[in-house]
Amino acid sequence: MCGRFVSASPPDAIARYFSAAPGQSHEPGGADPSWPGPRWNVAPTDDVLVVLEAGGTRHLDTFHWGLVPMWAKDPSVGGRMINARSDGLARSNAFKHAFLRRRCIVPADGFYEWKAVPGQKRKQPYFISSADGEPYALAGLWEEWRRPEHDGGSSLRSCTIITGPPNEVVGEIHDRMPVILPPSAWEAWLDPANRDVEALRRLLVPAPDAWTVARPVGPDVSNVRHDGPHLVEPVDPADPEPDAGGVGGQATLL
């Protein structure tokens, strides 16, 4: 799964990296009122940066993390749809429409996973990032959900992160990882006119081992109330510090 990640790069840097134009919430070179600033502990239901294509142009905008399907009665269902399994996208009532028409990239400076510690209840968190320090392009899907007219008719744009089998590095920690797209796949993935399901599926493969560096970090990341660059600082995994109530045991999103 992917339940926490880092989004510390500012929107203008992300837009340049992905050759994307600022979206509705972003002014070039200016302050973005919807961006809460750098975050080292992004959690489900937070607003996150998303790259998508519309009108032949890539855009960067802000979406709710936790996909809300068009048929949902209310947006609370999104809390259960932060991830979408790569092997079931075309069959899932929640994701098949978005898989065909509304694919996106969720930029991340890295993500967290938790590893079971033999003989202990606690799990050891790891920060997983690229070897060269460049952002990851996490494969995602998006939808737009609209309230009934009698309830105001407002809309909510939301997204989910696709997960699949891990590579060998992440496989030592967890049995799944987010799908990381190489730059060569961005155009095909983001193109809303691309309906070639088999070709799209072939993009959903584990990232090469060389793309991932995993280091143990402290237990503070297990509590969403903690944030800051100290969360990604490496620690000695043998440190007996107690877990802070983790996503290791699926932390409560406080």
pLDDT in 10s for each residue of the chain, 254 residues: 799 999 999 999 999 999 999 765 544 444 455 677 899 999 999 999 999 999 899 999 999 999 999 888 888 889 999 999 999 998 999 999 999 999 999 999 999 999 999 888 889 999 999 999 999 999 999 999 987 665 656 789 999 999 999 999 999 999 999 999 999 999 999 999 999 999 999 999 999 999 999 999 999 999 999 999 999 999 988 665 544 444 443 332 22
Q: Is 113 assigned a catalytic role?
A: yes
Q: Identity (one letter) of the amino acid at 65?
A: W
The pLDDT score that the predictor gives to residue 24 is 56
- Nearest CA to 211 among 129, 125, 126, 106? 129
pLDDT of residue 173: 96
**What is the predicted pLDDT for the residue at 153?**
63
User: What domains, with CATH codes, occur in the chain?
Assistant: 5-241 (3.90.1680.10)
> Quick one: pLDDT at residue 180?
98
- The enclosing H or E element of 184 equals helix 183-190
Q: Is 74 exposed, middle or buried (0-12, 13-18, 19+ CB in 10 A)?
A: exposed
Predicted confidence at residue 254, as pLDDT, reads: 25
Catalytic annotation, pick one of 27, 53, 104, 113: 113
pLDDT attached to residue 120: 87
Note the pTM of the prediction, 2 decimals. Answer: 0.89
Judge whether 2 counts as a catalytic residue.
yes
What are residue 180's phi and psi, to 5 degrees? -110, 120
Q: How high is the pLDDT of residue 75?
A: 85
Contact (CB, 8 A) for 19 and 59: no
Query: What are the structure tokens assigned to 203, written together?
Result: 């993009």
Beta strand 155-164 pairing with 83-85? parallel
Residue of 2, 53, 104, 143 with catalytic role = 2
Query: Quick one: which of 195, 191, 172, 169 has its CA closest to 180?
Result: 169
- The whole-angstrom separation of Cα 1 and Cα 86 is 11
Q: What is the pLDDT of residue 146?
A: 84
Query: First vs last Cα of the chain: how many Å apart?
Result: 19
- pLDDT of 239 reads 62
- Judged on CB neighbours under 10 Å (0-12, 13-18, 19+), 11 is buried
Tokens of 60: 């960067």
User: What is the C-alpha separation between 188 and 196, in angstroms, rounded?
Assistant: 10
Instruction: Say what the pLDDT of residue 227 is.
Output: 96
